Amino acid sequence: MEPDKERYTALISVYGKENFSFFETALNSIQLQTIRPTQIVIVKDGPLDDQLEKVIAKFKIIFLKENIECIIKENKVNRGLGYSLNKGLKFSSEELVARFDSDDINEPKRMEKTLEVFQSNKTLSVVGSYIDEFNEDSKVPLTKRTVPVTYGKIKSESNSRNPMNHMSVTLRKIDIEKVGGYEDVPYFEDYYLWMKLIKSGYKLVNIPEVLVHARANASFYKRRTGFSYLKKEIHFQYLLVSGHMISGLVFLRNIIMRGGARLLSPKKIRLIYRLLRKD
């Protein structure tokens, strides 16, 4: 790969309730990439505890020693993932910006394979991949989340499901900015961004390979149930139909199918997730 095609910014947001050990592991998996970032932007989403601050200080030294520019930005209060990623994008100096989650583990060749796809097709705006999920009690993957690979499949399936694994994506910064970036749509910031990109004709693809190992515990499923989450689901679907991204019929179908599922117990939601994600 040509040297100038190996450049990218690593963008990561971290908040106060994050486990410092998981965060350290996530940063270590960035450092171990076969193609390392030329820049890393860390956004502190509100105040962090001393242990998290020590992890940031430690890796800032490590990255600087490897000639990786390290930029640290902070929100005075917790503002959420979308706000933090938008903030980080503003300080990203590279054309391509890779999103890394603060508690996931990335395969060493994640970025090497992602950059190869971008180099093979200059029209792409987003490249993601499959992921698998595990919890802190088990090193064995619990589920595998496969997603549509081609742009055509992504476009057709986006009406009913999130077609990208957010923690796996690398973004072409200028294209994200052209559609307004992330918006304040709690739990659906990424999904809404994909829908805006698709509506505007930008291309998204996925690599059919697990490149990120994502943590998912009981709280992950609990957050996706109840009336509070149902209200957010309805609001998101309303944004899609009012923005002419889905039809009225699809809106009604999604409210019934997706909305109804939000009233199930976390245990049943977990079972549904596993069935839907079974390879």
Query: How many Cβ atoms sit within 10 Å of the Cβ of residue 228?
Result: 12
Averaged pLDDT of the chain = 90
Q: Which two tokens stand for residue 21?
A: 């050990």
Amino acid occupying residue 259: G
Name the residue among 25, 232, 42 with its Cα closest to residue 136: 25
Domain ranges of the chain: 1-105
Q: For residue range 104-115, list pLDDT tens digits in order.
A: 999 999 999 999
Of all residues in the chain, what percent carry a pLDDT higher than 70?
86
Q: Chain centroid to CA 101: how far?
A: 7
Indicate whether 151 pLDDT > 80.
yes
The answer to whether 206 and 147 are in contact (CB under 8 A) is: yes
- Please state, in angstroms and as integers, the Cα–Cα distance from residue 35 to each residue in 121, 149, 209, following that order: 19, 23, 18
Topology of domain 1-105, CATH: Spore Coat Polysaccharide Biosynthesis Protein SpsA; Chain A (3.90.550)
Greater confidence, 271 or 186?
186
Phi, psi of 154 (to 5 degrees): -60, -45
Is the model's pLDDT at 270 over the cut of 80?
A: no
Task: Using alpha carbons, select from 215, 221, 223 the residue that is nearest to residue 270.
Answer: 221
Q: pLDDT band at residue 229, thresholds of 50, 70 and 90?
A: confident
pTM score, two decimals? Answer: 0.90
Confidence bin at 143 (pLDDT 50/70/90): confident
User: Contact 225/262 with Cβ under 8 angstroms?
Assistant: yes
Residue type, 202: Y
pLDDT at position 81: 96
Output the 3-class SS for the chain.
Answer: CCHHHCCCEEEEEEECCCCHHHHHHHHHHHHCCCCCCCEEEEEEECCCCHHHHHHHHHHHHHHHHCCCEEEEEEECCCCCHHHHHHHHHHCCCCCEEEEECCCCEECCCHHHHHHHHHHHCCCEEEEEEEEEEECCCCCCCCEEECCCCCHHHHHHHCCCCCCCCHHHCEEEHHHHHHCCCCCCCCCCHHHHHHHHHHHCCCEEEEEEEEEEEEECCHHHHHCCCCHHHHHHHHHHHHHHHHCCCCCHHHHHHHHHHHHHHCCCCHHHHHHHHHHHHCC
The model's pLDDT over 21-34, given as tens digits with 9 standing for 90+, comes to: 999 999 999 999 99
Cβ distance 240 to 251 under 8 Å?
A: yes
Q: Is the dihedral of CA 24, 3, 92, 154 positive or negative?
A: negative
Say how far apart CA 237 and CA 205 lie, in whole Å.
Answer: 23
- What pLDDT does residue 217 have? 63
